[in-house]
Copies of this chain bind each other. A is one copy, B any other.
Amino acid sequence: MEKYQATAIAHPNIALIKYWGNRDHEMRIPENGSISFNLGSLYTKTTVIFNPSLEIDSLEINGIQTLNSGLKRISNFLKIVREWTSTPYYAQVISENNFPMGAGIASSAAAFASLSLASIKALGLFLTEKDLSRLARRGSGSACRSIPQGFVEWLPGRDDQESFSYSFASVNHWDLVDVIAIVAKNHKSVGSTAGHALANSSPLQRVRVADAPRRLGIGKNAILQRDFNELAEIVELDSNLMHSVMMTSNPSLFYWEPATISIMKAVPEWRQQGIPACYTLDAGPNVHIICQSEYANDVVNLVNQITGVLQVMVSPVGGGAYLVEE
């Protein structure tokens, strides 16, 4: 009996200008565009096996069979893959990460990016990068940013066709690194999908979205010009704006831990003392400290001295999603 199998790897990404809130929840069309870079040293490797003999999808993450909401989300996504590709078969999905899940590192981004690429390949098909990005977006909005390489912009668009990501600067354009300070390892209490749905309950979301094109322009220009100070100011503002929306949603979302605040207060002081670094936080308590690679060791040493920091990971800018031989 024939099986349709492929394996792909994708990296999570860290948004420098954030995605928060959808114009269309079902299609995951975001309220505003976003900018990110892939995290090259972190990855999710996903194998997909479409098998005519299966009567249900299955999911294994890091060696453990996953049921309930995790499987349901993957299965909903595979339904979209089946529709796109006119495939009748169910699939076995085997995924492994080298980083902690559900704590502010976009595990779903790498998961759905790798699953998208592996699924299309397994079925013997081909999609352009743009269309792969559109497909990944259906599983997790930010997954569309993990398809292209290097520095990536997600064009929000107004519908499914227009909403996709592309690389506006390559992996080697600027040797930035993300120094990730892990301050909590437990799963976050409100996931991003549920969080996005609350964005419009904050009186601040409207302003955050209206001001987004300005921030995107500044952020993209700062990256293209390799202007760290310009980037630092807009990245921190953008992160603070997103968390302001979260904290003023109904119910309010507080993703921060005590150590989160300690780091957020320390990083701008380091910058004033001559270490080019800035912070940004996704929907979780961990702090991503962006700096140029030559300062990575200094930043790691500084952040390790802060009470409540459990672990520090460092990642350079990474490539796009890719297939691996099995």
Contacts and interface: CB of A to CB of B under 8 A. Distances in A.
Nearest to A204: B204
A204 B238 CA distance: 12
25 contacts: A203-B208, A203-B241, A204-B207, A204-B241, A204-B244, A206-B207, A207-B207, A233-B250, A237-B248, A237-B250, A240-B247, A240-B248, A240-B252, A241-B248, A243-B247, A244-B244, A244-B248, A251-B268, A254-B261, A256-B261, A257-B261, A258-B259, A258-B262, A258-B307, A258-B308
Interface string A201-218: 001101110010000000
A268 B253 CA distance: 11
Nearest to A256: B261
Interface in A170-213: 203-204, 206-208, 211
A71 to B, nearest CB: 29
Q: In the complex this chain forms, how many copies of it are found?
A: 2
A265 interface: yes
Given A204-B204, A254-B261, 17 more contacts: A203-B208, A203-B211, A204-B241, A204-B244, A206-B207, A237-B250, A237-B252, A240-B247, A240-B252, A244-B244, A244-B247, A244-B248, A254-B264, A257-B261, A258-B261, A258-B262, A258-B308
Contacts of A264: 254
Contacts of A244: 204, 240, 244, 247-248
A129 interface: no
Nearest to A258: B258
Instruction: Find the residue from A243, A260, A265 having the highest chain B CB count within 10 A.
Output: A265
Instruction: Find the residue from A204, A254, A260 having the highest chain B CB count within 10 A.
Output: A204
A236 interface: yes
A243 B254 CA distance: 13
Contacts of A237: 248, 250, 252
Nearest to A244: B244
Contacts of A243: 247
